[in-house]
Amino acid sequence: MNPYQAYKRNEPSTGWTRIDILLALYDGALERLDKAEVAIKSGSTSTAITLLARTQLIVSELAAGVRLEGNEVTGSNILHLYEFVTDVLRKPDLKAIASARRILTTLREGFVAIQSEANELERSGQLPSADRLQMVHATA
């Protein structure tokens, strides 16, 4: 039995949907940007660099979840935005953090706008549930 199956057998369902997980990733990235900004303003560059690196990892995971099959143009545009965010966060800079925050906030707001519909599609089985996602299997 693979580790994920053993985990699922022993753990109750969290009740998280795909969009809940997606929004939590955005929240985590935005929270780290806020903390990095505070760290830069207080002179703790090394802390800011660590927080920005963690933000880059979250954004990389968001990018890994983009599927181009449904709408290649939209998917490509989102990937370009994620690429821009990871690129500008290479250095601890307040303007870069502000740019990254604007992009991530705008994308998050778009997903919040469709949250109810996405949850209904998942509940009805038209979208695979979160526990069936390849990402979840790969990271367990």
Task: Report helix, strand or coil for 43.
Answer: coil
- For 1, half-sphere exposure in the C-beta direction (CA atoms, 13 angstrom radius) is 8
| Token code pair at residue 136 | 């979840």
* Other beta carbons less than 10 A from residue 107's beta carbon: 18
Q: Does a structural domain hold residue 114?
A: yes
| 66 assigned to some structural domain | yes
Q: Work out how many domains the chain is built from and give that number.
A: 1
Reported as a single tens digit per residue, the pLDDT across 88-129 is 999 999 999 999 999 999 999 999 999 999 988 888 887 777
Tens-digit pLDDT profile for residues 20-58: 999 999 999 999 999 999 999 999 999 999 999 999 999
Residue 2 placed within a domain: no
Cα angle 90, 91, 94 (rounded to 5 degrees) comes to: 120
Please give the residue range of the domain that contains residue 112: 16-125
Tell me the C-alpha to C-alpha distance, in Å, between residue 75 and each of 35, 56, 63, 69, 78: 29, 19, 9, 8, 5
Question: Residue 74 maps to which CATH number?
Answer: 1.20.120.340
